[in-house]
Amino acid sequence: MRTSPKKQSTIYESTQHNHHYLILHNDSINTFEFIIETLVDLCHHDPYQASQCALIAHYKGKCEIKKGDLNDLKKLAQSFKEKGIIVSIE
Protein backbone atom coordinates (compact mmCIF):
# COMPACT_ATOMS: atom_id res chain seq x y z
CA MET A 1 0.00 0.00 0.00
CA ARG A 2 1.37 3.31 -1.00
CA THR A 3 0.87 6.42 1.09
CA SER A 4 1.15 9.93 -0.12
CA PRO A 5 3.98 11.97 1.32
CA LYS A 6 3.04 14.26 4.14
CA LYS A 7 2.81 17.86 3.18
CA GLN A 8 5.22 20.00 5.07
CA SER A 9 3.91 23.36 6.10
CA THR A 10 6.24 26.27 5.96
CA ILE A 11 5.81 29.42 7.95
CA TYR A 12 6.56 32.51 5.96
CA GLU A 13 7.22 35.63 7.89
CA SER A 14 6.62 38.73 5.90
CA THR A 15 5.45 42.19 6.59
CA GLN A 16 2.13 41.38 4.93
CA HIS A 17 1.26 38.98 7.73
CA ASN A 18 2.25 41.39 10.48
CA HIS A 19 -0.41 43.97 9.69
CA HIS A 20 -2.75 45.32 12.27
CA TYR A 21 -6.04 47.14 11.91
CA LEU A 22 -7.18 50.51 13.17
CA ILE A 23 -10.77 50.15 14.30
CA LEU A 24 -13.28 53.00 14.47
CA HIS A 25 -15.86 52.52 17.25
CA ASN A 26 -19.37 53.91 17.34
CA ASP A 27 -20.08 56.73 19.76
CA SER A 28 -23.00 59.02 20.43
CA ILE A 29 -20.87 62.16 20.72
CA ASN A 30 -19.39 62.94 17.31
CA THR A 31 -21.45 63.79 14.23
CA PHE A 32 -21.27 61.82 11.00
CA GLU A 33 -19.90 64.91 9.28
CA PHE A 34 -17.05 65.23 11.78
CA ILE A 35 -16.16 61.53 11.52
CA ILE A 36 -16.23 61.68 7.71
CA GLU A 37 -14.07 64.81 7.61
CA THR A 38 -11.58 63.24 10.01
CA LEU A 39 -11.37 59.99 8.01
CA VAL A 40 -10.73 61.99 4.85
CA ASP A 41 -8.12 64.13 6.60
CA LEU A 42 -6.23 61.49 8.61
CA CYS A 43 -6.72 58.28 6.59
CA HIS A 44 -6.96 59.90 3.15
CA HIS A 45 -10.26 58.16 2.45
CA ASP A 46 -12.41 59.62 -0.27
CA PRO A 47 -15.71 61.05 1.04
CA TYR A 48 -17.72 58.04 -0.12
CA GLN A 49 -15.42 55.54 1.60
CA ALA A 50 -15.38 57.67 4.75
CA SER A 51 -19.18 57.84 4.86
CA GLN A 52 -19.43 54.06 4.41
CA CYS A 53 -17.00 53.52 7.30
CA ALA A 54 -19.00 55.90 9.49
CA LEU A 55 -22.24 54.06 8.68
CA ILE A 56 -20.71 50.63 9.32
CA ALA A 57 -19.36 51.80 12.69
CA HIS A 58 -22.76 53.28 13.54
CA TYR A 59 -24.79 50.17 12.72
CA LYS A 60 -22.31 47.40 13.57
CA GLY A 61 -20.50 49.11 16.44
CA LYS A 62 -17.08 49.20 14.78
CA CYS A 63 -15.33 49.31 11.42
CA GLU A 64 -11.80 48.59 10.20
CA ILE A 65 -10.59 51.90 8.78
CA LYS A 66 -6.89 51.30 8.17
CA LYS A 67 -4.50 48.36 7.83
CA GLY A 68 -0.80 48.74 8.43
CA ASP A 69 2.27 48.60 10.60
CA LEU A 70 1.65 48.77 14.34
CA ASN A 71 3.86 51.81 14.91
CA ASP A 72 2.19 53.75 12.10
CA LEU A 73 -1.26 52.86 13.41
CA LYS A 74 -0.33 53.95 16.95
CA LYS A 75 0.52 57.42 15.64
CA LEU A 76 -2.69 57.56 13.64
CA ALA A 77 -4.74 56.34 16.61
CA GLN A 78 -3.30 59.12 18.74
CA SER A 79 -4.43 61.68 16.16
CA PHE A 80 -7.98 60.27 16.27
CA LYS A 81 -7.99 60.28 20.07
CA GLU A 82 -6.85 63.91 20.12
CA LYS A 83 -9.99 64.71 18.12
CA GLY A 84 -12.17 62.78 20.59
CA ILE A 85 -12.83 59.82 18.30
CA ILE A 86 -12.77 56.33 19.78
CA VAL A 87 -10.42 53.94 17.97
CA SER A 88 -8.47 50.82 18.85
CA ILE A 89 -5.82 48.65 17.23
CA GLU A 90 -6.27 44.93 16.62
> What are the tens digits of pLDDT across the range 63-85?
999 999 999 999 999 999 999 99
User: What is the per-residue pLDDT for 67?
Assistant: 97
- Residue pLDDT, tens place only, 37-67: 999 999 999 999 999 999 999 999 999 999 9
Q: Which of 20, 15, 8 shows the shortest CA–CA distance to 68? A: 20
User: What is the per-residue pLDDT for 3?
Assistant: 52
Give the integer Cα–Cα distance in Å for 46 and 66: 13
- pTM, two decimals, is 0.79
According to CATH, the topology of domain 19-89 is: Ribosomal Protein L30; Chain: A, (3.30.1390)
User: What is the per-residue pLDDT for 38?
Assistant: 99
Give the integer Cα–Cα distance in Å for 55 and 61: 9
Q: Could you state, in order of their start, the residue ranges of all structural domains in the chain?
A: 19-89
